[in-house]
Structure 1
């Protein structure tokens, strides 16, 4: 977004989409940053305001929001906060139906063979 070669968004919908994405990034980074961090407060202040009307004011707001997001990233890296790892539940292997049928057949056959091998009294 802030690269020299990257063009400004053309439509108002593009501006709204980018602003929404940057607000999402700010909220995610805000969880990793101390609450009194100046970069976080600036980014939250920019996010709380609405998108200005007009071509240039909306693009300027978008650039400021992107700069605030970059400052927030730098603040998170400066505080050396590791991102929280999500807890993953163990997924059990779900066998195909034919494997289950084969296992049931093998168990039944083993029971028949065992029953046949027991001497009769």
Structure 2
């Protein structure tokens, strides 16, 4: 879903290409991230995956037009990966939720230590002296 939104930012007819170099770098970084995430889901032998990974590993070229052209190519490669994933009927894996243990508050810990110390004191006082 996020990949489609990022692709739409670049390829949608109503959206204009980013003006600043920082915006281009940010979109390229996001598209590279989507390509790497989709690379896990798409079957490894897919030709679209190999081409997208090669494109993503290339650096962003200098200059206004070359950087925008590279950005559009990244978006198209991401779009092809999404289409390949949907064609193979593979759904993205949901992240597994790790069980979160209850973290006691500091006063609970202090009370537990006090109770343990008090129990040791009572036990030591009840032992007969010889």
Match among 10, 15, 29 for residue 6 of structure 1: 15
TM-score, length-scaled by structure 2: 0.68
Count, aligned residues: 112
The CA distance in 2 between the partners of 1:88 and 1:37, in whole Å, is 30
Instruction: Give the drift of 1:4.
Output: 0.6
Q: Which ranges in structure 2 are unaligned for 5 or more consecutive residues? A: 1-8, 107-130
TM-score, length-scaled by structure 1: 0.73
Higher helix share: 2
Residue 9 of structure 1 aligns to a residue whose secondary structure is: coil
Instruction: Give the drift of 1:82.
Output: 2.1
- Bigger Rg, structure 1 or 2: 1
Q: State how 1:30-109 maps to structure 2 within 5 Å.
A: 30-91=39-100
- What are the superposed Cα offsets for residues 26-50 of structure 1, whole Å, 9 maximum, x if unpaired? 0000000112211111111111111
Q: Does the C-alpha gap of structure 1 residues 49 and 94 become closer, same or farther in structure 2, counting only changes over 3 Å?
A: closer
Instruction: Give the drift of 1:94.
Output: 7.1
Q: Which ranges in structure 1 are unaligned for 5 or more consecutive residues? A: 98-121
Instruction: Give the drift of 1:62.
Output: 0.2
The CA distance in 1 between the partners of 2:59 and 2:47, in whole Å, is 20
The CA distance in 2 between the partners of 1:57 and 1:79, in whole Å, is 33
